Amino acid sequence: MFEDIFEFVRTQFRHADFIPLHEPRFAGNEKNYLNDCIDSTYVSSIGEYVNLFELAVAEFTGSQHAIAVVNGTQGLFVALKAIGIDAGCDVLTQSLTFVATANAIHYSGASPVFIDVDSKNLGLSPKALKLFLQKHTELHNDRCVNKISGRKIAACLPMHTCGHPCRIKEIAELCTENHIELIEDAAESLGSFYSNKHTGSFGKVGVLSFNGNKVITTGGGGMLITDDEELANKMRHLTTTAKVPHQWEFIHDQIGYNFRMPNLNAALGLAQIEQLASFLEKKRQLAERYREFLTAIQITFIDEPPKCKSNFWLNTILMPNEKQKTVFLEQANQQGIGARSLWHPMHLLAMYKHCQRDTQSNAEDIYRRGINLPSSVNG
């Protein structure tokens, strides 16, 4: 059976030696814009391409404001800092995620609390979230207090895993009811929609990533999206070293961060987003072929959830058990197919194993059986 899957993957990609998990595709104005940026000499954090890329992302996602940053991790950190997250806070998130989600919470000084995920869409489970809030929290003067830690639960940070929207509307309703700010880790879900609304636009802030393995890339980079003008101005100020605008003086009114995306990266991003619609269509076609083939051989394929449109960033399957997953990954990579495991759950990592969590039964099961298959834009 594994050989059949390997052969099917080979037929989807034109690589002689190694099929990467997700490689970037440069088929548009990338070289033209990069050369123009170099000729302008504005290759750092000041330049027209940063502004143009921000406008393009805001328009595509339906957001009022977009702030370009050096990467998605720092975007999450800035979002948390901007809404006031600090050492006196707990932040609810999922354990089945890339480590950046938990690290950003740690950078802010807060403590992550891990809530289990849905088995169908791999994102934070509103059922598990509701159960945790009922069992472990109480409201005091519009503050949600964790009865175990005694800290304020100030934010919830779900991720749209592998590009599949989580049940974000239900999560948002629970957050509103319990006076918890919602920030979305939409690093993997550019081009994904829940009820025709782009991921990252349901909460206070959404954070995108343009790492080299994402649907579009700026090499390294991220974007904060929000409809809150005051918050957007605050995040833009924080990410540009909190410098007060002045033609020649350098005055900073608070501790800020040098996190603004360089113009050179934004030039690449602008060329990439011009091709985004085509990329998404080709990724959907690949997912449809995977779905049809894998369903025929009775392998579980993680499909887009109801009421959603997924970008299918990484096509994901579940093996019957952990042993078969391990054998599959060993054989695939030996044969030049860059399949990989999902992330090691955060609560099983040394630096986060002490953190409060619920049962994590779904997260651990998905990790034991989950595999990402090559998912690059092709054709």
Instruction: Convert the pLDDT of each residue in 37-68 to its tens digit.
Output: 999 999 998 899 999 999 999 999 999 999 99
36 and 157 both lie in a single domain: yes
Q: Which tokens go with 344?
A: 């090691």
Domain housing 333: 2-24+276-373
85 and 185 both lie in a single domain: yes
Q: For the stretch 345-356, what's the b/e string if a residue is b when 16 or more beta carbons lie within 10 angstroms of its beta carbon? A: bbbeeeebeebb
Whole-Å CA distances, 295 to 66, 292, 302:
39, 5, 11
260 and 336 both lie in a single domain: no
Euclidean distance between CA atoms 69 and 85, whole angstroms: 19
Provide DSSP, 311-359. Answer: --SSEEEE-SSHHHHHHHHHHHHHTTB--EEPPPPGGGSTTTTTS-B--
Q: Which tokens go with 179?
A: 């006076």
pLDDT, position 45: 85
Residue 329 lies in a domain: yes
Residue 124 lies in a domain: yes
Residue 378 lies in a domain: no
Q: Which of 224, 239, 273 lies at the terminal end of a domain, its last residue?
A: 273
143 and 225 both lie in a single domain: yes
187 and 168 both lie in a single domain: yes
> Count of domains in the chain?
2
Q: Which of 273, 306, 331 lies at the terminal end of a domain, its last residue?
A: 273
227 and 346 both lie in a single domain: no
pLDDT, position 379: 62
Q: Where are the beta strands (DSSP E) in 137-196?
A: 137-140, 143-146, 152-157, 181-185, 193-194
155 and 211 both lie in a single domain: yes
Domain of 132: which CATH number?
3.40.640.10
Residue 379 lies in a domain: no
209 and 333 both lie in a single domain: no
pLDDT digits (tens, 9 = 90+) for 127-148: 999 999 999 999 999 999 999 9
8 and 53 both lie in a single domain: no
Q: Which of 273, 289, 317 lies at the terminal end of a domain, its last residue?
A: 273
Whole-Å CA distances, 61 to 65, 170, 226, 261:
10, 20, 10, 19
46 and 183 both lie in a single domain: yes
Whole-Å CA distances, 144 to 106, 175, 333:
20, 10, 47
pLDDT (tens place) for every residue of the chain, 379 residues total = 799 999 999 999 977 789 999 999 999 999 999 999 999 999 998 899 999 999 999 999 999 999 999 999 999 999 999 999 999 999 999 999 999 999 999 999 999 999 999 999 999 999 999 999 999 999 999 999 999 999 999 999 999 999 999 999 999 999 999 999 999 999 999 999 999 999 999 999 999 999 999 999 999 999 999 999 999 999 999 999 999 999 999 999 999 999 999 999 999 999 999 999 999 999 999 999 999 999 999 999 999 999 999 999 999 999 999 999 999 999 999 999 999 999 999 999 999 999 999 999 999 999 999 999 999 998 6
Q: What letter represents residue 28's amino acid?
A: G
Domain of 339: which CATH number?
3.90.1150.10
200 and 166 both lie in a single domain: yes
Residue 180 lies in a domain: yes
Residue 257 lies in a domain: yes
Residue 178 lies in a domain: yes
Residue 68 lies in a domain: yes
- 202 and 194 Cβ atoms separated by less than 8 Å: yes
Q: How many CB atoms lie within 10 A of CB 14?
A: 9
99 and 127 both lie in a single domain: yes
